Each structure stands twice: as C-alpha cells, then as structure tokens.
Amino acid sequence: MIKNVIILGAGASGLMCAIEAAGRNRSVVIIDHMKQMGNKIRVSGGGRCNFTNLHVSAENYCSFNSHFCRSALARFTPADFMAILDRQGIRYREKSEGQLFCLRTSEDILSMLKCETERLGVDFSLQTSVLKMRKKGEFFEVLTNKGGFMAESLVVATGGLSYPALGSTNLGYEIAREFGLKITRLRPGLVPLTFDKNIARQFCALSGTSLNVEISCNGMHAVGGMLFTHTGLSGPAILQASLYWEEGNSITINLLPGIDFQEFLTDHSQSRAQFATVLSSFLPKRLAQRWTELKDIAWPICQFSTRQIEHISHDVHNWKIRPVATEGFQKAEVTLGGIDTRELSSKTMETNKIPGLYFIGEVIDVTGQLGGYNLQWAWSSGYAAGQHA
Ligand SMILES: Cc1cc2nc3c(=O)[nH]c(=O)nc-3n(C[C@H](O)[C@H](O)[C@H](O)COP(=O)(O)OP(=O)(O)OC[C@H]3O[C@@H](n4cnc5c(N)ncnc54)[C@H](O)[C@@H]3O)c2cc1C
C-alpha cells in the first residue's frame, strides 16, 4: 500500500496527526498492533478522560529541554481541543485546578476521533505487527504481518513503555536507535513509590488510609491526596512527586498543609490530652497513632517544653521518608525521557537528520504533570506533525 503518510500508533497523538494530515488531503494509514485504537484514552482519567488542562504551560512538563514543548503547545492549545468538542456537542466539566474531564465517558472523545478519521478517509491497519522498517530513497518502507506499506512521511506515535497491558512497546525507541537518534534516560513517571520491607511493615496497617498533604521533592511541591498502600505510597500528590523523585532521594511530607501546628500546640499547651489524641483531630486516627509511636511521644501536651513544641510541629510539617523504588512501568501512567528533543524540530516534530521521519506524543522526552497535560501534549505534538507530514 502506498500512502503519503504512515503513522505508527493509533493513540492520542497518532489520531490527532492523522486528522490534521488527512485534512490537508494527504493520504494516511495508521498501523497499530492492538485490536482497538486509543486504549489509553479509554482508561484515562478513570474512564472520563482528563483530556487537557486550562492552565497548560511549559512549566508543567519535564524534559531535558524545558522550552521544546512551547511552540507546539502554543499552536494547538486547550481552547483548540475544546472547540473541537464543542462543535461535536461533547460535554465536559472542570474538576479541580483547570483539569477538564468528559461529562459522560472517554468513549465520547474516542468516537469523535474515530468519526473524524473515517470522514477524512484515513485507513487503519489494526492488529498489525511491524516486522521491519527502512528508508529506501525518498520512501519509508514498513513491512508488517499484513503486508508492506510505503510513504514519504513516517510518523512514530507509539507512546512510552508505561502500562504494557494497554499496548505499549519499545518500537518507537528501536526505530530511533536504528536511525542513530539519541534517547534520554527512560524511567517510569506518575507512578506509586515503594518502601523497603522494614518501612513497609511499619506502615502496612495504614494501607487504604488517605489524606491531603503537601509533598516536596527535588525542588517540586505538590498539594493533594496521598494514599498508604501495602507497599508504599500512592495518590495524586505522590504520583506528581514521582516525576521528580530519583533513587536515593527522600520526600518531605507536610501532614498538615495550611495549618500552623506550632501555634495550635502553643495555644493548647495547658491541655492534658495525649499528643496522639490531639493529632487525630487533624489526621486519620490510625496515622496519628502510628506517627506518634514512631516519634516516641508518650506524654500529654501540657508536658511539652517550648523546644519540644517547635521540634514536633516542625516534624509534622516536614516528615521525611525515603522510598526505595517505584512500582515500575507496569503501574506508571507515563514514561519519563524519550527521543532527545535536540533531534527534532519543535515546530514540526520532524527529525533533523532524517527528512520525513517524525516523532510525536509520549515517545518524545516531554512528560507532563498529572492533570491532563500529557494528553494535551499528545494533541499538540500530533497537530504539529500533521500540519507538515
Ligand atoms: C492508566 C492511565 C491513565 C492516564 N490518564 C491520563 C489522563 O487522564 N490525562 C492525561 O493527560 N494523560 C493520561 N495518561 C497518559 C496519556 O494517556 C498518554 O500520555 C497519552 O495517551 C500518550 O499518547 P501517545 O499517542 O503518545 O501514546 P499512546 O496513547 O500510548 O498510543 C500509542 C499507540 O501505539 C501503539 N503501539 C505501541 N507499540 C506498537 C507496536 N510495536 N506496533 C504497533 N503499534 C504499537 C499502541 O497500541 C498505542 O495504540 C494516562 C495514562 C495511563 C496509562
């Protein structure tokens, strides 16, 4: 089959790229090894697809080159994606901090993308495994179990390594390597953190306990929910911290964000209540008890010295804990790192060395924070390549 554009990967970025390229009258085929397109869109945002964030900016992304994403994000913005949904009558709502979710389900977005690709005559070759790929003269040749495909533009939209159950493979990185392109270090992101066995044992009784905290890690601060699991910590604030956490790092947890605990203890310094009882008026009871035991505080507040009040409230606001690992790509929402942005044009996503070869979406070293930023990057980078491929 000969086309103008072959897109590898029928995920968010590949579908957006196909719509834009086909809209320019380019003939397009999308190849994917899965039975269905857009598996990650389907499960995203707990099935409601947190498809963008109103406050998107380059500061919401981790990348070796923090400026790379600016151009694409400016040319296809959250408002542009919302305009598409508005035209199609798909309803959505803002949850917190600019995060936009479908009012019904993520299927609304998937069927909109499917209808658009059909309307524009995009061909799909699903359940298709790529066996070989090469550049022959002006053309890219992709050999698959369903035959050969040729095109002058090849767009790699195969995503990252996270959640292999949804179709992730390392094909994109393999193609980059074959063409001699640099790849930055790959690691799981937006992923639960785990403790070593001893610490996990100390907290296993807290599994299922959640609370709002502020977490600091490597210069990053995240406010939001934190959940104790059997193996460590999860919840939105932890997932966010995982983007910045490196092996060996501690994270600092403010257990009482927005509360001046030192002032509270000082005001109640005549109280005969046990410390654990007082703390449990702010924190889940099991956590208040465990934390008090760990800190070995076994006397009532009225016996605290001024120094102890200072010391204990400092600890409550700055509890340091050292995770040992993450739950890995199996549980990660995204892959940190990817195709080195120095290999790509920030306007078109085309590689500098191989004309006609493009990379888009998560496979690139651009990783968004939690809150709709990753899908916005997939739409924006897909749009950028679709305007050019
Ligand atoms: C559980 C979960 C929830 C998420 N929730 C959100 C959210 O609410 N908001 C948000 O912004 N982000 C969310 N994300 C992240 C977001 O889904 C991804 O960043 C985004 O989908 C990446 O788009 P992509 O097109 O680059 O890759 P993908 O969507 O991963 O698409 C890649 C496609 O390539 C195909 N492919 C891979 N290897 C091959 C191969 N060898 N041969 C052929 N085809 C191949 C795959 O089958 C897939 O269809 C979530 C991720 C997960 C895992």
- For each of the domains in the chain, give its residue range(s) and CATH number, in order of start: 2-187+335-386 (3.50.50.60), 193-326 (2.40.30.10)
Q: What is the Cα–Cα distance from 206 to 294, expressed in whole angstroms? A: 13
Atom of ligand 1 nearest to the CA of 101: 8
The answer to whether 34 and 128 are in contact (CB under 8 A) is: no
Report how many helices (DSSP H) and strands (DSSP E) the chain contains, helices first. 13, 21
Indicate the top mutation candidate among 33, 40, 128 to test ligand 1's pocket, ranked by most ligand atoms within 8 A of CB: 40
Amino acid at 182: K
CB of 189 shorter than 6 A to ligand 1: no
Is the alpha carbon torsion for 158, 159, 165, 169 positive or negative?
positive
> How far, CA to CA in Å, does 53 sit from each of 13, 56, 269, 290, 369?
16, 6, 45, 37, 10
CB of 33 shorter than 6 A to ligand 1: yes
User: pTM here?
Assistant: 0.96
Residue 97 has a pLDDT of 83
User: What does the block give as tokens for 44?
Assistant: 């995203």
Distance 363 CA to ligand 1 centre (A): 9
Distance 328 CA to ligand 1 centre (A): 16
Q: Order the strands of the 232-234 sheet from edge to edge.
A: 319-321, 251-254, 210-217, 220-228, 232-234, 193-194, 325-326
Torsion, Cα 40 42 47 51, to 10 degrees, reads 70
Indicate the top mutation candidate among 142, 158, 234, 240 to test ligand 1's pocket, ranked by most ligand atoms within 8 A of CB: 158
Nearest to 82 by CA among 97, 101, 69, 96: 101
Task: Please tell me whether residue 43 adopts helix, strand or coil conformation.
Answer: helix
Residues in the chain with pLDDT < 50?
A: none
CB of 372 shorter than 6 A to ligand 1: yes
Residue 188 has a pLDDT of 98
CB of 43 shorter than 6 A to ligand 1: yes
